[in-house]
Chains A and B, each alone.
Chain A
Amino acid sequence: MARIEIDGELHTVQDGNNLLSTCLSLGLDLPYFCWHPALGSAGACRQCAILQYRDADDQQGHLVMACMTPVQDGMRIALTAQQARQFRRDNIELLMTNHPHYCPVCEEGGECHLQDMTLLTGHTMRRFRGQKRTHDNQYLGPFINHEMNRCIACYRCVRFYNDYAGSDDLQVFGIHNNVYFGRFEDGALQSEFSGNLVEVCPTGVFTDKTFSAHYARKWDLQTAPSVCVHCSLGCNVAPGERYGELRRIVNRYHGEVNGYLLCDRGRFGYDFVNSPKRIRKLHIAGQASCSVTMATDKFHTMLQAADGVIGIASPRASLEANFALRALVGEDNFFLGLDDSEHTLLNAIHEVMRDGGIHSPSLQEIEQADAILILGEDVTHSAPRMALSLRQAARNAAFALASKLHIQPWQDAAVRELRKQAPTPVFIASICSTRLDDIATNTWHGGPEDLARLGFAIAHNLNDAAPLPAALNEDQQALAANIARALRQAQRPLIVSGTSCSSLAVIQAAYNIARALPESAPQLAFTLPECNSLGMAIMGGKPLQQAFAAMNQGLADSVVILENDIYRRASTQQVDAFLETARHVVVIDSLQNNTTEKAALLLATATFAESEGTLVNNEGRAQRYFPVYPVTDPVRASWQWLLSVMTDSPWAHHDDLTSACAGAFPELATIVAAAPGADYTVEGCKIPRQPQRYSGRTAMHANIAVSEPGQPSDQETPFTFSMEGTTAKVPPAVLPVIWAPGWDSNQAINKFQEETGGSLRAGDPGIRLFEASGTQSWFNDIPPAFQAQPGVWKVIMLPHIFGSEELSLQSPAIAERCPAVCALLHPLDAETLAISDCDTVAIRDPSGTLIMNMPIRIEKTLPPGLLGLATGRPELQPLQSGMLVCLHKSDPLATDVSEERS
């Protein structure tokens, strides 16, 4: 701690920080551009100038850039001194010489950091009489608009894109005041994190293209705190709505999870909510129309008439919805609705997390790791935001060296310069090359069995008691020893694994390694398939195959399927048989899919944007999301549909369900505290979802009816669908919008943090459900090495950020970035089959039946004998990980992938 004097007042502040960050942490208004809490200092924009005095007697002081000046005990500085204010105003004047003066038509207007800072400095008069320089813009793909004329050359975009996110297709070109930030040529930005440019850019050079397509001002968006539903990490998001349509997603800062940044799937996947595939009507098979009453009656009678009702749960629905289903059908009839192997894996992961005694790290903790082993995951594709955290962790050795050399950690470029001299040990053992290979000190590729075997070998190296795989070759032994050494030497070693390889052995090996690490507080992070996968595993339920069996055996004759396309979970034949056998099929979902087509009663449900619920992320953090806007008739939240047919239910409200769920499962006991309940008020008022400047409330529906409609009421959450009330002091879990006086952009977040980049005041939202406790015995089940068999290939499904996830795939922008379906094959295998890149192969089952034709991409890092395919693509539904198939070069004409499908 240091004592410093700012504008005559004494403050006690953190040592080792820079003055800009310190001043912002103290809540002072100091303008800046190039500095960003995640990116550190660059010193380029010169906007954060303050006066520093030499000593107590110095009256003059000299200008310094706050972001480049370390805090020193006893120092005296001034933000408000005339000279400093003048400089900051003049600096903005310079930035504005080329900046267009068209805020009213600029998309950034109203949430523009440049606008905020310009007002803050008081630059109001333009003296520059010259011409503004102009630029052409580029096509950057479906996510991002480019408007270079707005650029103020703060260099944040390239620092984020290249240095922070590790992609290299965005750069700065040219020199002096003719610098251009763009790509070598037009084309989609390749980074999976490109959407952050929208928020990193302090003005409107990079804007959200999907938002442009249905634009509204920030102050006209209705917002509520939400959680991303597109992977298991649970990044906090702030969706915005206008006119009953979800317009965009922006980041909602969370100190422990996503920090300032999201992945592109999380940011641009939202449009599924507006999709034409959205189910907006209720449907009873064979009837032309269906009202809410008809639907509930029908549902009711079906249940009454049923002789045993199977409930199929959903890893993409909330705990509450699933719990309601479980209450409706009873524990015995409650099935998780996961594919079999996934079910096993999730159970294993849940057990390890609960009883394994190993800490499950938050993303923030992952960033602190000083040695990393990734076992079997291509993290960028299975848990994208985590990849960004791992990339930062790879800098930790450089930070350590920097500290020895007295280089401040926020001197970003200087620390990066040390990267090569001080590499953090990062080992990636994966099926084939990954998007993080560039940060890896070693990469190694193998099939799931071999990855597991390597893992077991590492564990054995760390602790003799851990079982040793038989018949390891010398390379593997050496590698295992090498990895073990690095992990042992680390202070904060981290193992990352997950469900991507569909291998229990991989998960068990990952646990063995963590367990074998001595007292160094190892951390074990798992990536899971969906946003509530872990919640489902905790709740527990039977495997889907048993539901099929139960139906077959006549133990039940009806089924209620909650937000789950079970065609994604089992073979078409099985699901067909199951649904055909069922007397009643009730499906509750929001988007049309193969399962909803089979529904006798189809109940339209709200998406995450129109409903509330609790999700458990991969770390074991329960987080609440809230409806951003009211659901439109006849759509209901899933939990409401389910409650509506439970005649003797003691529960009327969502909060009741949350409490009941917490009561029913000891592990979920604390979920109630994830966010305040519906009775929470601030100064007697509910929390407004609409900003105070929200426009058109009385008139926006005038095309429908001229009388002013009443505001929809919200009984279920602490929010109102209006602008009355205050958001200034609400706890982070229910903070709808980031705004502070003078700070219209999302960068106002510093007014809500304990310190810049730190936790939110009153604590980061969410409740962690597990603390490391207990220990499990060594897993001993070591698989034999994978042996490629001639003529037979083993299917391995690989996740992809764009395309593997069901909901986001229905967002047009995501679909556009979705790679063409193809199969990966090792060059030797391609040679055997006499095929080359882009040729088509016929994939047959071992009996010779054609499953489909598929173009091939040769991938030299894929182990021979494996056939790599993208997870979750509807076209590939007949294929599953682990399946054995035969391949033949196909007739060049046979390109229809679904042809001849039996």
Chain B
Amino acid sequence: MSQNIRPDRDFTTLKDYRRTGGYQGIRKALTELRPKQVQQLVKDAGLRGRGGAGFSTGLKWSLVPMEDDSAADIRQTRYFLANADEMEPGAFKDRLLLEQDPHQLIEGIIIGAYAIQANIAYIFMRGEYRLAAKRVAHALQEARDHSYLGEHILDTDFNLEIYLHTSAGRYICGEETALLNALQGRRSIPRAKPPFAVVSGLWGRPTVANNVETLCNVPHILHYGVDWYHSLGLGADQGTKLFGVSGRVKHPGLWELPMGTPIREIIEEHAGGMQDGYRLRGFLPGGASTDFLLPEHLDVLMDYDAVAKAGSRMGTGTIIVLDDQTCPVQMVLNLEEFFAQESCGWCTPCRDGLPWTVTLLKDIVAGRGRMEDLYTLAGLTRMLGPGHTFCALAPGAMEPLQSALKFFREDFERYIIGNSATREPA
């Protein structure tokens, strides 16, 4: 996936991309396989969504009603979407893929669109990704010029147009169904599920949305095969994954590593361990909406189930490191401010619960906290838990808070008792 991403090179042109085996995947898919077979292949490969939820990609594709009987006449149009809204604090993987190797994404989309027989695809990109937008637009034009897009792709019957949609942004736009609304020019409010997008998505038509990284895996699965893909993963999950580390480590960065790489290896080897003078206090393994883990969890493998077992989620796979000189309470306050601000305002617990959470945390940090506030906060983490809100934003927001209340309780209490011992963030 990252083979073409080099710090020394600007970005991958079509020529570069083809030199390293690019656009072989679609040749295989479009000329040798039927759509259902592509779906099956991706399912067999065990690719799971890299957008955070980890849902099987092939399975998602196979849920699209293909030859619909009853309402065939009006169910022809299907859409394929690439979710390039990356806005989860701490996540910085999709931007690199978009900026450095846009053709890889385009190829992934073509394969996905072929698999569900969609003739129009959109790349939904957050508005701040200006460079990415430029490069993707350029790559789309190249692909069009070389007949990878348009009518009769590779002389087959398959037609596809990919449009780049630049949003004006909100975190919630990345939520699959909110994205549908955003793309339709509405307020980006999530939709009720069911119906799922695969049945009734964009303009009520069957729609698949995948994360950028997810799609970037697809050409390689097609090109190199399922067995090869299986050989990459170390743990229970297949393939490779972009893992990143940010915070006070020596070499913050992003690396493509086998699925199931131990967290210790990522933080200590690839990221070079903590900066001098700082110690690891904890970390969010997969972005802002995952539970804190502690140094004792360093040997956990980065795959979906292992991280879940440790009490968190792999999320986006981008680790945010909490050092011993950053106040976890203030860190959580920063996170909750983010979530409160990005709440779409649709459902009560999230819209009104997050601002209250922020108020409480601010009070605590300002020395106005009370012991019962911790009880209230804990109540809120339950109140805004999974299934209680309309979408997964609020439960995600509660993950760092609930784990912080568990792991860093003394830091909260210290504020309340009145001696704020931790340093202000430097």
Chain A interface residue number, banded: 35 or more
Name the distance in Å between B165's Cβ and chain A's nearest Cβ. Answer: 18
User: Does chain B have a CB within 8 A of A473?
Assistant: no
Q: State whether A176 touches B340 (Cβ < 8 A).
A: yes
Which segment, of A40-48, A270-278, A842-850, faces chain B? Answer: A40-48
**Cβ–Cβ < 8 Å partners of A414 in chain B:** 191-192, 194-195, 200, 204
| Per-residue contact bits, chain B 347-365, to A (CB 8 Å; 1 contact, 0 not) | 1110111111001000100
Rounded to whole angstroms, the CA-CA distance of A417 and B180 in the bound complex is: 11
Q: State whether A179 touches B347 (Cβ < 8 A).
A: no
Nearest-neighbor residue (CB-CB) of A49 within chain B: B388
User: Does chain A have a CB within 8 A of B421?
Assistant: no
User: Does chain A have a CB within 8 A of B170?
Assistant: yes
7 additional A-B residue pairs with CB within 8 Å, beyond A49-B388, A153-B348, A420-B204? A45-B347, A91-B349, A176-B342, A404-B70, A406-B194, A411-B194, A411-B195
**Cβ–Cβ < 8 Å partners of A62 in chain B:** 387
Rounded to whole angstroms, the CA-CA distance of A553 and B262 in the bound complex is: 110
Known: A405-B199, A407-B195, A420-B203. A46 touches B348 (CB 8 A): yes
User: Does chain A have a CB within 8 A of B231?
Assistant: no
Nearest-neighbor residue (CB-CB) of B70 within chain A: A404
Point out the residue from A152, A174, A176, A413 that lies within 8 Å of B192, measured CB to CB: A413
> How many chain B residues touch the partner (CB < 8 A)?
40
User: Does chain B have a CB within 8 A of A124?
Assistant: no
- B interface, CB within 8 angstroms of A: 70-71, 74, 170, 187, 191-192, 194-195, 199-200, 203-205, 340-349, 351-356, 359, 363, 372, 376, 379, 383, 387-390
Closest 6 CB pairs of A and B: A417-B204, A130-B359, A94-B352, A179-B345, A176-B343, A418-B204
| Per-residue contact bits, chain A 93-105, to B (CB 8 Å; 1 contact, 0 not) | 0110110000000
Q: State whether B379 touches A174 (Cβ < 8 A).
A: no
Point out the residue from A46, A94, A421 that lies within 8 Å of B204, measured CB to CB: A421
Rounded to whole angstroms, the CA-CA distance of A41 and B193 in the bound complex is: 12
**Cβ–Cβ < 8 Å partners of B199 in chain A:** 405-407
User: Does chain B have a CB within 8 A of A521?
Assistant: no
Q: State whether A155 touches B205 (Cβ < 8 A).
A: no
User: Does chain B have a CB within 8 A of A139?
Assistant: no
| Per-residue contact bits, chain A 168-182, to B (CB 8 Å; 1 contact, 0 not) | 000010111111000
**Cβ–Cβ < 8 Å partners of A130 in chain B:** 355-356, 359
Rounded to whole angstroms, the CA-CA distance of A91 and B385 in the bound complex is: 13
Rounded to whole angstroms, the CA-CA distance of A523 and B344 in the bound complex is: 45
User: Does chain B have a CB within 8 A of A894?
Assistant: no
Rounded to whole angstroms, the CA-CA distance of A422 and B75 in the bound complex is: 11
- A interface, CB within 8 angstroms of B: 41-47, 49, 62-64, 68, 87, 90-91, 94-95, 97-98, 127-130, 152-153, 155, 172, 174-179, 401, 404-407, 411, 413-414, 417-422
**Cβ–Cβ < 8 Å partners of B200 in chain A:** 405, 407, 414, 417-418
Known: A63-B387, A177-B355, A417-B203. A95 touches B340 (CB 8 A): no
Name the distance in Å between A20's Cβ and chain B's nearest Cβ. Answer: 14
Rounded to whole angstroms, the CA-CA distance of A45 and B351 in the bound complex is: 10
Rounded to whole angstroms, the CA-CA distance of A155 and B349 in the bound complex is: 15
**Cβ–Cβ < 8 Å partners of A47 in chain B:** 348
**Cβ–Cβ < 8 Å partners of A46 in chain B:** 347-349, 388-390
Nearest-neighbor residue (CB-CB) of B368 within chain A: A129
Rounded to whole angstroms, the CA-CA distance of A97 and B363 in the bound complex is: 16
Name the distance in Å between B324's Cβ and chain A's nearest Cβ. Answer: 31
**Cβ–Cβ < 8 Å partners of A41 in chain B:** 192
Q: State whether A43 touches B347 (Cβ < 8 A).
A: yes
**Cβ–Cβ < 8 Å partners of A419 in chain B:** 204
Rounded to whole angstroms, the CA-CA distance of A98 and B342 in the bound complex is: 18
Rounded to whole angstroms, the CA-CA distance of A130 and B366 in the bound complex is: 13
**Cβ–Cβ < 8 Å partners of B351 in chain A:** 153, 176-177, 179
Q: State whether B388 touches A87 (Cβ < 8 A).
A: yes
Sample of 20 A–B contacts (CB below 8 Å): A47-B348, A62-B387, A63-B387, A64-B387, A90-B383, A95-B348, A97-B352, A97-B355, A128-B356, A129-B363, A130-B359, A153-B345, A175-B343, A176-B355, A179-B345, A406-B195, A407-B195, A413-B192, A414-B194, A414-B195
Name the distance in Å between A128's Cβ and chain B's nearest Cβ. Answer: 6
Name the distance in Å between A86's Cβ and chain B's nearest Cβ. Answer: 9
Name the distance in Å between B336's Cβ and chain A's nearest Cβ. Answer: 12
Nearest-neighbor residue (CB-CB) of A418 within chain B: B204
Q: State whether A155 touches B346 (Cβ < 8 A).
A: yes
* A94, A174, A421, most chain B CB atoms within 10 A: A94
Point out the residue from A91, A172, A411, A418 that lies within 8 Å of B187, measured CB to CB: A172
Rounded to whole angstroms, the CA-CA distance of A44 and B383 in the bound complex is: 15
Known: A130-B359, A177-B340, A411-B192. A91 touches B204 (CB 8 A): no
Nearest-neighbor residue (CB-CB) of A416 within chain B: B204
Nearest-neighbor residue (CB-CB) of A131 within chain B: B359
**Cβ–Cβ < 8 Å partners of A97 in chain B:** 352, 355-356
Q: State whether A94 touches B348 (Cβ < 8 A).
A: yes
Q: State whether B348 touches A91 (Cβ < 8 A).
A: yes
Rounded to whole angstroms, the CA-CA distance of A657 and B74 in the bound complex is: 59
Point out the residue from A129, A172, A421 that lies within 8 Å of B74, measured CB to CB: A421
Rounded to whole angstroms, the CA-CA distance of A45 and B389 in the bound complex is: 9
* A42, A62, A90, A406, most chain B CB atoms within 10 A: A90
Rounded to whole angstroms, the CA-CA distance of A68 and B340 in the bound complex is: 25
Name the distance in Å between B395's Cβ and chain A's nearest Cβ. Answer: 12
Nearest-neighbor residue (CB-CB) of B344 within chain A: A175
Known: A128-B356, A421-B204. A404 touches B71 (CB 8 A): yes
Rounded to whole angstroms, the CA-CA distance of A178 and B191 in the bound complex is: 20
Rounded to whole angstroms, the CA-CA distance of A417 and B376 in the bound complex is: 39
Rounded to whole angstroms, the CA-CA distance of A155 and B383 in the bound complex is: 21
Known: A129-B363, A401-B74, A420-B204. A95 touches B347 (CB 8 A): no
**Cβ–Cβ < 8 Å partners of A64 in chain B:** 387
Rounded to whole angstroms, the CA-CA distance of A153 and B346 in the bound complex is: 8
Known: A421-B74, A421-B204. A405 touches B195 (CB 8 A): yes
Q: State whether A129 touches B359 (Cβ < 8 A).
A: yes
**Cβ–Cβ < 8 Å partners of A179 in chain B:** 345, 351
**Cβ–Cβ < 8 Å partners of A45 in chain B:** 347-348
Q: State whether A422 touches B347 (Cβ < 8 A).
A: no
**Cβ–Cβ < 8 Å partners of A421 in chain B:** 74, 203-205
Rounded to whole angstroms, the CA-CA distance of A130 and B372 in the bound complex is: 15
Rounded to whole angstroms, the CA-CA distance of A418 and B340 in the bound complex is: 32
**Cβ–Cβ < 8 Å partners of A401 in chain B:** 71, 74
**Cβ–Cβ < 8 Å partners of A175 in chain B:** 170, 343-345
Name the distance in Å between B169's Cβ and chain A's nearest Cβ. Answer: 11
**Cβ–Cβ < 8 Å partners of A43 in chain B:** 192, 347, 390
Rounded to whole angstroms, the CA-CA distance of A401 and B75 in the bound complex is: 10
Nearest-neighbor residue (CB-CB) of A155 within chain B: B346
* B340, B343, B351, B379, most chain A CB atoms within 10 A: B351
Q: State whether B352 touches A98 (Cβ < 8 A).
A: yes
**Cβ–Cβ < 8 Å partners of B192 in chain A:** 41-43, 68, 411, 413-414
Name the distance in Å between B197's Cβ and chain A's nearest Cβ. Answer: 11
Rounded to whole angstroms, the CA-CA distance of A507 and B210 in the bound complex is: 57
Name the distance in Å between A629's Cβ and chain B's nearest Cβ. Answer: 41
* B340, B342, B383, most chain A CB atoms within 10 A: B383
**Cβ–Cβ < 8 Å partners of A95 in chain B:** 348, 352
Rounded to whole angstroms, the CA-CA distance of A406 and B199 in the bound complex is: 10
Name the distance in Å between B284's Cβ and chain A's nearest Cβ. Answer: 22
Name the distance in Å between B128's Cβ and chain A's nearest Cβ. Answer: 17
Name the distance in Å between B140's Cβ and chain A's nearest Cβ. Answer: 27
Q: State whether A176 touches B387 (Cβ < 8 A).
A: no
**Cβ–Cβ < 8 Å partners of B342 in chain A:** 176
**Cβ–Cβ < 8 Å partners of B347 in chain A:** 43-46
Name the distance in Å between B404's Cβ and chain A's nearest Cβ. Answer: 21
Rounded to whole angstroms, the CA-CA distance of A15 and B7 in the bound complex is: 61
Name the distance in Å between B385's Cβ and chain A's nearest Cβ. Answer: 9
Point out the residue from A49, A98, A127, A422 that lies within 8 Å of B376, measured CB to CB: A127
Name the distance in Å between B175's Cβ and chain A's nearest Cβ. Answer: 14
Q: State whether B359 touches A128 (Cβ < 8 A).
A: yes
Q: State whether B352 touches A174 (Cβ < 8 A).
A: no
